Every structure is written in C-alpha cells, then in structure tokens.
Amino acid sequence: MTASKSSRARQARARQAQAQRSQASTRSDGATRNAGAAASRNGSADKPGTAVKASTLVQAASPARAVATRGGGVERRGSRPPLREASADLEAPATTTVPLWFQLVTWVLSLAGLGVSIYLTIAHFTDKPLAGCSESGLVNCTKVTTSPQSYVFGIPVAVLGLAFFMAMVGLMSPWGWQWARRELALIRIASLVVGMGFVLYLLYAELFTIGSICLYCTSVHAITFLLFVLTIFAAAAWGLPGRQRS
C-alpha cells in the first residue's frame, strides 16, 4: 500500500515537471514569434548566415551603408547625392570640346585682324598713305579712310576695329575657348554679330556712298566674316558650355 502511494506521487511529480517544461517551451516560441513580427514591422530582413537579435538589426539592402539603432530604426550613411546636384555637374563641363586646331585657327585670324587694325589706326592719326594701296579708281584707300563715313558716332572706324580685335584676341585664344563658361560663349557670338553689322554698314558706305574700296579695310571685313562663320559653326557642331550653378 505504501509503495503504491509512493509510485503515484512520483508519477504526479513527473507529470507536473513535464507540464512546466511544456509551458516554458510555449513561452519561448511566443517570444521568438514576437521578435520576428517586430522585425517585419520595421521593414528589415535578415540575410542567410547572419544572426538577428531583437535589439540590434543591421540592414544592407542598398548601396548606402545602414546602421541599426536601439529603437529598431535604421540610419543610412553614404547615400547617393541628390539628382539636382548630379544634373548641375553634367550641365557644367570643366573644359570645352572645341578641338585645339580650331582654337588656333580663330586665334591666328584674330591676331591678323588686330595687326591690320593697329596699322590703320596709326595711319589715321599720322595722315600717312597706306602702303601698297592705290589712290585712284575703284581701289582708293585714302579716299575711304578720310571720308566722313570713316567716323561712327565721332569715333574713327579704325579705333573701333582696334578695340574689336583686341577683344577677339582674348575670346578666340585657346585659353578663352578652354574657359568653358556659357556667358563667355554668348559674349563671343554677340560681339561677332555686332561686328558683322558694322561690316555690312561699311561695305554699303564704300560701294554706294564713297564709290571706292580700301584693301586693308576689306581684309578686316573678310577676317570678321570668317570669325563669325567659324564661331557659329563651333556652336552648332560642339554646342555651348553648360550653365554654371553655385
């Protein structure tokens, strides 16, 4: 009788211990499921071969480096630059694409125009005849350079030509071309448009008002026309530099 009671007591204790182990296992499974649900709500996913903890979570789903925080949030570092800054870099190239030979051709033409303008300015203020230029018939340099049409707004045309080609020497130099600023390119085009306007006016004055032409003046007109054509060609073929942004 006593042995039977003792056996029943041991069996009762064994069943009680098994029930406690079952309850502990159930609580552990519930905690695991709660941790997984919290990780899912925070938008994180664990990779194969990495251990995931409830308080520390590392996410590497993008090129930007992610650092976990205690609250479950993820702080991204090293993200890509904004699209606006990237587009500004693309719109502002560091150098121009105009070939070097093209830069040198326009620069040599500008230097030639500057040389002729300097000579015409000296001849204007010293009243010396131009060398190698006829003074009778259709070609008459003296008649052209001393006519009332040789002044524009009270300024000698030779001086205006000198100032124009001094600017062109700088704008058409390799340094001027390589300084890739949109404003500089627009100034170059605008200056040549104004220069061509003066060329057309002077040609009309020589042919229809004075009735004579000057070979030196004609050479300046031809150089201005060539620079105008080459500059427009450069803008059409290689484009203008992008707009600079701060």
**3-class DSSP string for the chain:** CHHHHHHHHHHHHHHHHHHHHHHHHHHHHHHHHHHHHHHHHCCCCCCCCCCCCCCCCCCCCCCCEEEECCCCCEEEECCCCCHHHHHHHHHCCCCCCCCHHHHHHHHHHHHHHHHHHHHHHHHHHHCCCCCCCCECCCEEHHHHHCCHHHEECCEEHHHHHHHHHHHHHHHCCHHHHHCCCHHHHHHHHHHHHHHHHHHHHHHHHHHHHHCCECHHHHHHHHHHHHHHHHHHHHHHHHCCCCCCCC
Q: What is the pLDDT of residues 180-189, one digit of tens each?
A: 889 999 999 9
Give the bridge partners for 102, in sequence order: none
pLDDT on residue 220: 97
Here the tokens at position 110 are 């500008």
pLDDT of residue 53: 40
Q: Which residues pair with 4 in a beta bridge?
A: none
pTM: 0.61
Nearest to 97 by CA among 226, 228, 242: 242
Domain ranges of the chain: 31-80, 96-238
C-alpha to C-alpha distance for 34 and 26, rounded to whole angstroms: 12
On whether the CB atoms of residues 110 and 102 are closer than 8 A, the answer is no
Q: Cα separation of 92 and 95, whole Å?
A: 9
Q: How far apart are CA 149 and CA 202, in angstroms?
A: 8
Could you tell me if 180 and 95 are in contact, meaning their C-beta atoms sit under 8 angstroms apart? Answer: yes
Best CA proximity match to 244, nearest among 185, 177, 189: 185
May I ask the CATH architecture of the domain 96-238?
Up-down Bundle (1.20)
Q: Which amino acid is at 34?
A: N
Task: Give the per-residue pLDDT at 132.
Answer: 85
Tens-digit pLDDT string for the chain (246 aa)? 444 555 666 676 777 767 677 666 656 555 555 545 544 455 444 444 443 343 433 343 344 444 444 444 445 554 554 545 444 444 444 455 899 999 999 999 999 999 999 999 999 999 888 988 877 788 999 899 999 999 999 999 999 999 999 999 999 999 999 988 899 999 999 999 999 999 999 999 999 999 999 999 999 999 999 999 999 999 999 998 876 554
Bridging pattern class, strands 151-152 and 74-77: unpaired
Residue 32, Cβ density class (10 Å: 0-12 exposed, 13-18 middle, ≥19 buried):
exposed
